[in-house]
Amino acid sequence: MNNVEQLTRRLLVEPTSMRVSQFLSDQQVSFEEMVHPPAYTSQKLARFLHIPGRQVMKSVLLKGPRGYVLAVLPASHRIDLARLNAHFAGTVRLATEAELHDLFPDCEYGAVMPFGQLYGVPTILETTIPMATTIVFEAQQHAVAIRMSCRDFVKLERPERLHFTS
């Protein structure tokens, strides 16, 4: 295997949190990377990190009339699909496991981070999340999380702000 093949293999196989951290560092954003026991739900992540569930963000891939969209919301909230159907003027549904894997191949199943732009997917952010709050999210692995300010996240990702939870 030559050096290019090794580098390509490493980029596709190595934990993506290094790339997430590198992306945030390159953007000169303050953040903290936290390693923790594997957490397969956002609420478990909050428990492991001893933080309120409202600080933990979950990223949910949706499919609507305009294509895919990544919804970012507090772990303690639920998506109101009827609101999104009205906003997007058509049916919005949860993406399938196959669609999730196709769009986010470097993420562990269920550990999608909120930076849809890195995958060519527009992002929506729940409006009830205060800009001044600190947010925590999985970094494509169930055992690595990132803590950063919501203001910095919005500055980098430029999500559409919508009220889409119940």
Which of 45 and 122 is assigned the larger pLDDT?
Answer: 122
Which whole-number Å values give the CA distances from 46 to 21, 53, 94, in the listed order?
A: 20, 5, 23
Could you identify the residue written with the tokens 């500055």? 155
User: For 107-160, what is each residue's pLDDT tens digit?
Assistant: 888 888 899 998 999 999 999 999 999 999 998 888 899 999 999 999 999 999
- Cα atoms found within 13 Å of the Cα of residue 89, Cβ hemisphere only: 1
Domain residue spans in the chain?
3-162
Q: Rounded distance, CA 45 to CA 56, Å?
A: 8
Q: Where are the alpha helices (DSSP H) in the chain?
A: 3-13, 17-26, 42-49, 81-88, 97-103, 150-157
User: For 18-38, what is each residue's pLDDT tens digit?
Assistant: 478 888 999 999 999 999 989
User: For 107-116, what is each residue's pLDDT tens digit?
Assistant: 888 888 899 9
Whole-number pLDDT of residue 111: 84
Mean per-residue pLDDT, 83-100? 96
Q: If one looks up domain 3-162 in CATH, what number appears?
A: 3.90.960.10
pTM score, whole prediction: 0.86
